[in-house]
Amino acid sequence: MLNKLTRINIYGLGGRAALVIGFVLFIAIVATDYLTPYELNLTPFYLFVVLLVTWNSGWQWGLGFSVLCIVAEGSTDLLTGHPYPEQIYFYIDNANRLVIYLVAWGLISQLKIQHEREKDSARRDYLTGLLNQKGFYEAFSVEIARHRRENSPMSVAFLDCDNFKEVNDGRGHNEGDRLLTNLAQTMRANLRKTDVIGRLGGDEVAIVLSKTDKDHAAHVIDKLRRELNAAMAEHGWPVTFSIGVGIFASVPQSEDEIISFTDKLMYRVKSSGKNNVLTEEFTAFGAGR
- Which residues are identified as catalytic? 203
Nearest to 220 by CA among 175, 270, 277: 277
Distance spanning both ends of the chain, measured CA to CA: 55
Following CA atoms 175, 180, 182, 183 in sequence, which dihedral angle do they give, to the nearest 10 degrees?
140
Single-letter code of the amino acid located at 216: H
CB 155 within 8 A of CB 247: yes
Could you tell me if 261 and 249 are in contact, meaning their C-beta atoms sit under 8 angstroms apart?
Answer: no
CA 230-233-234 angle, 5° bins: 85
Closest CA to 128 of 59, 176, 80, 63: 176
Q: Which of 221, 223, 225 is nearest to 279 (CA)?
A: 221
CA 148 – CA 156 distance, rounded (Å): 15
- Rounded to whole angstroms, the Cα distance separating 41 from 283 reads 67
Question: What residue type is 240 in one-letter code?
Answer: T
CA distances from 18 to 62, 73, 97 (A): 11, 21, 23
Strand, helix or coil at 245? strand
